[in-house]
Structure 1
């Protein structure tokens, strides 16, 4: 097995055909059963281990093999950090011509990579007379009950256990697809690690109201819960979200910046690593000695909140009416924000992007080539789209450095921050 794939599988080669080996590790020699064959790839499972990697470890979770939450518990953590750097290198090798591998730094990992997730959203079922929370088996909809998750924050686990106990006590049952009984399909728990507030959501498949007594008992057990929602699945793609207790948001604080988190608002799931990630971005921003900047995230994001408070002009480009309304609301609090609908005649020292897994949108890429900012800071959650974007940009920009971050230990996911400087 030559290397690790983006989903945590081992990749071997048979006559130049890539063979993806489930739970295989780089350096191992195995006899594999081939389960699928396609024109450019094949899939297999380990039948016999001939040479085992020195980095193979015993998974710490009892349901690891079945659960779809983690992919790399069987791999030594420090070795996995090196693999995450290698995943970035392999992506650039594939898409970027002629680059210096020295620009890719070592992966920023965690000293203690357990209990890092500040949010859980888990399915609920009633099994053998008891309510259980769990996960779905890999690549299936088979429910796997779990009692404790080692990557969830301890406070999240404790609240989940209390909820399940109270559901049994008050006969507020999880949905059972076999009998079509029960109405709670999912439980969401989010905690703020720094300020210790909690938010809970119950997803239901009917408009049946949750028992007030259960809610009061839950709050009595956990006074840190300051926000509770019921989310009703109206149809396959439509939900109705209703606040049933407390305030609409909970407050998190990262690097001195406060963030009000609504129930549906995206926020980094790993608070400790988010602090490192945004500290790195802030350092690169400060080192840029910029006079003006474009926030490519178009509004409310942790790095945007930092930019708005620096007393320098921050431009946000948007032609979307919904986006514009949100940005105008932000302008009331942050007068440094300048909403623009065109980049013609715009001159910038710096652009900051932290896009989705799809990478920098084509419209923003056109803006970069028109405006030619002196520096670009690019936060990425997908090495492949990062590499494709860098290949596009390197005709104008020097790739100065790429720092990978392990935001999700024991998964194959890797994020990164890249600094680019205008050539010439």
Structure 2
């Protein structure tokens, strides 16, 4: 048996990747799991080690950090969502700001950037406009459950327990989305439970009730999408009729029959059951129609701050050709279109491109063009020749960043400015290094889109070198 390594009365040093804390020991860096904070004095026990990196758990707290605050959510100990709610908000912002600069300098090897102070979120609770809950017939048990002599249901409707893909804990109240989100989830759970519908089992891909997605908007609209794992028309009709009758505030009601091995639904048919086909998001004098498969930034209030920064960095003066890469439903493209000669949006999801076109039409914007397809296949020399060389490129890729062929096309098209928006500053820094031979990273502006998490959005401005 290997010897268990323990450290006593050590002080947690700092935050690291993915919001974990670290302790820098004489044996190397130790990542500490759990709800700890820099400044905590603790005893730890190493649970696994790889070369100079180790992972440990806390076995005893001696004293708590001054940057701590009381968690507000009853699910804090088991939920992997708002993992930083025990940290004072100003301290959260400091670590996020530091993370951006660390990634730029360590991963991208980028110097000389003007880092602007992070844009704090004014609304720090109930800020999300989209949440997804999972049904399960194998609920995560609490200590009270395990100590109880009474029989109880193993059904649950809630979130995945971190690192346990097959365990769902029952959510009573989530502080991420405004009403009627909690009421809808709880009522749907109770209805399905009372009717005896079979909750989904992810291991066997069996069961009827699979998933529910709730979308709200700053216009007051509400969309609910219920996912079923089996095509049972009678059950589907009962559930959807209940939702329609019970919650008259639901303005858009859909269902999906998903028999795949995972919950992703972009490739599934979303069946419109009742109400409008879209919900509406507003930004300045623009209205955006958001469908069941549409991507829209999940924090509407901070999305507006993000887009204002992107528009400012683009420095448009009515005569530029702008490419908006990974355009989604065309929110950024339409947001900047009135300041440009022409905006070309490219997006992988066909339904999102259809929504982008509808949003342009809805807002009377005639100088946008949207194209659907895999970015690395669509964006090539022939495409640039046909659409015109971009003066400005705005890119907002997924967490994985941009493909090398996309970067190559950007370099060959030589726009004067690139505005790079990212939800993952590590891959953003990697891509910026690939662009740095031809472009200088001038500015970086972090935006806190997700309070009480380690995630940070960042906007970088790149200018063509002389």
TM bracket, shorter-chain basis: 0.7 to 0.9
Q: Which residue of 2 aligns with 1:9?
A: 20
Q: Which residue of 1 aligns with 2:6?
A: none
Number of residue pairs matched by the alignment:
421
- 1:242-281 matches, within 5 Å, as 242-281=271-310
> What 5-or-longer segments of structure 2 have no aligned partner?
1-11, 140-151, 372-378
Q: Which residue of 2 aligns with 1:412?
A: 454
Q: 1:63-109: CA deviations, max 9, x gaps?
A: 211112222122111110111111111111212335136x1222212
| Separation of aligned partners in 2, 1:27 and 1:258 | 46
Could you tell which deviates more after superposition, 412-421 or 240-249? 240-249
TM-score scaled to structure 1, two decimals?
0.88
Could you tell which deviates more after superposition, 379-388 or 219-228? 219-228
Contact 1:82 1:106 in 2 (8 A): no
| Separation of aligned partners in 1, 2:179 and 2:349 | 41
1:321 Cα deviation after fit:
11
Secondary structure of the corresponding residue to residue 403 of structure 1: strand
| Separation of aligned partners in 2, 1:74 and 1:326 | 42
Secondary structure of the corresponding residue to residue 334 of structure 2: helix
| Separation of aligned partners in 1, 2:314 and 2:62 | 50
1:310 Cα deviation after fit:
4.0
Identify if the C-alpha distance between structure 1 residues 76 and 298 changes in structure 2 by more than 3 Å, giving closer, same or farther. closer
Task: Kindly indicate whether residue 174 of structure 2 is the aligned counterpart of residue 149 of structure 1.
Answer: yes
Task: Kindly indicate whether residue 266 of structure 2 is the aligned counterpart of residue 225 of structure 1.
Answer: no
Could you tell which deviates more after superposition, 258-267 or 217-226? 217-226
From 292, 301, 313, the equivalent of 2:321 is: 292
| Separation of aligned partners in 2, 1:69 and 1:147 | 14
| Separation of aligned partners in 2, 1:137 and 1:299 | 29
| Separation of aligned partners in 2, 1:178 and 1:234 | 13
Secondary structure of the corresponding residue to residue 64 of structure 1: coil
| Superposition RMSD in Å | 3.2
Contact 1:288 1:375 in 2 (8 A): no
Q: 1:130-165: CA deviations, max 9, x gaps?
A: 964221211112221121001222321122223234
Q: Which residue of 1 aligns with 2:384?
A: 343
Identify if the C-alpha distance between structure 1 residues 329 and 366 changes in structure 2 by more than 3 Å, giving closer, same or farther. same
Could you tell which deviates more after superposition, 51-60 or 290-299? 290-299
Contact 1:170 1:214 in 2 (8 A): no
| Separation of aligned partners in 2, 1:91 and 1:179 | 41
- 1:295-374 matches, within 5 Å, as 295-297=324-326, 300-310=329-339, 312-316=341-345, 333=361, 335-337=366-368, 341-344=382-385, 346-374=388-416
Contact 1:405 1:415 in 2 (8 A): yes
Secondary structure of the corresponding residue to residue 272 of structure 2: strand
Contact 1:68 1:139 in 2 (8 A): no
Contact 1:7 1:71 in 2 (8 A): no
Q: Which residue of 1 aligns with 2:231?
A: 207
From 108, 111, 114, the equivalent of 2:125 is: 114
Contact 2:244 2:253 in 1 (8 A): no
From 165, 168, 184, the equivalent of 1:159 is: 184
Could you tell which deviates more after superposition, 244-253 or 264-273? 244-253
| Separation of aligned partners in 1, 2:246 and 2:321 | 49
Secondary structure of the corresponding residue to residue 270 of structure 2: strand
